[in-house]
Amino acid sequence: FNAIAVLTSGGDSPGMNPAVRGVVRAALNNGIQVYGVQRGYSGLLAGDLRVMTSASVRNIVQRGGTILKSDRCEEFKQKEVRKRAIEVLKSNGIDALVVIGGDGSLTGAHLLAEESDLAIIGLPGTIDNDIFGTEDTIGFDTAVNTALDAIDKIRDTASSHERHFLVEVMGRNSGFLATHVGIAAGAEMVIVPEYEVHIEQLGQQLSESRRTGKGSSGIIVVAEGQEPGLTYRLAQQLKQLGEEPRVCILGHIQRGGRPSGHDRVLASSLGAMSVNYLLAGYSDIMVGIADGAIVDVPLDSVIRYRKGLDPKLFELALLLHK
């Protein structure tokens, strides 16, 4: 390779920095020049590229966010616009690109691979863990732990005031984050987009545990899902059933913070491995994790299929509080 470029795109996630560092250091170790693209696909279109040195990625392994900045770029969905991006890369002598981001960013990456002779590799960077073909994503572990820190604090207030709390976590259309957080927080209930909510049942369960003295306070973890204001609506419905739960929306705090040790190792490994895959002649793939090992998955299938929530894990979340 003459030179490769790396960018971060879409919603940021803790661990994007060690992933960038992994790509940069692995490329330099192999004598390949690396460019860092600023602000995802928007910066690519604007030609905002910087030569990365080993020093550019010094002291970032522990930092949340992304030093390359991230952005959403609606116009990238147009073929003519992507053609301009391909020209920017070629005119800078770049023949490969590593894209770190979620589902949307990987869709853009796949189209770039289809529409050019550039080598393109995607890395799963999202707190949602909703990407097909990989059992883990960069930032998921940190986000689970951030939500747990918050819930442990909320539990103190829930317990002092004998209240139930509905705690909304992120996750887009997927219940992965909520299910993991629910199990690890010992939540009374987990509500996810993949399964129907039985609000009367939940109301009964809460009143029952209050009556029997099992618990007058508890945590119900709600995945944000697609409906804005879902958690407030559920709280309203529970109110009509005689409960008075409080609502706490964790929001963007889940996307920030120092990446956990797990995410730093995952991001560093995937970042460095993306360069190995490029050197071995691969393109149009995502580098991810299956059965604990690093694997390559065609980007085409990554974006075509939806990753399903493991029903056994969800059942476990519901069973353990009984």
| Active-site residue set | 128
- Compare residues 83 and 233 and give the one whose CB is closer to ligand ADP: 83
Structure tokens given for 321: 């509080």
Helix (H, G, I), strand (E, B) or coil at 218: strand
The least distance separating ligand ADP from the CB of residue 253, rounded to whole angstroms, comes to 17
Q: What is the dihedral of CA 43, 112, 267, 179, to 10 degrees?
A: 100
* Token pair for 240: 């009509």
Q: Coil, strand, or helix at residue 8? A: strand
Nearer to ligand ADP, 72 or 246 (CB): 72
Q: Which of 102, 88, 116 is nearest to 8 (CA)?
A: 102
**292: which residues sit within 8 A by CB, 6+ positions away?**
none
Alpha helices by DSSP H, the chain: 16-29, 40-45, 79-91, 103-114, 140-160, 176-185, 199-211, 230-240, 261-279, 299-304, 311-319
The binding site for ligand ADP (CB under 6 A) comprises: 9-11, 41, 72-74, 76-77, 101-105, 107-108, 111, 126
Residue placing its CB nearer to ligand ADP in the complex, 103 or 243: 103
The two tokens of residue 200 are 């009367």
What's the min distance (Å) between Cβ of 302 and ligand ADP? Answer: 11
Q: Side chain identity at 201, as an amino acid letter?
A: Q
Contacts of residue 139, defined as CB under 8 A and 6 or more positions apart, other chains included, come to: 13, 14, 15, 16, 125, 126, 127, 255, 259, 263
Count the alpha carbons within 13 Å of 161 in the hemisphere toward its beta carbon.
12
Asked whether 221 and 188 are in contact (CB, 8 A), the reply is no
Cβ proximity to ligand ADP, 198 vs 306, nearer residue: 306
CB of 140 to ligand ADP, least distance (A): 13
Question: From the CB of 144, what's the least distance to ligand ADP, in Å?
Answer: 18
Nearer to ligand ADP, 77 or 198 (CB): 77
Alpha-carbon distance of 300 to 305, in angstroms, equals 9
At its nearest, how many Å lie between ligand ADP and the CB of residue 107? 4
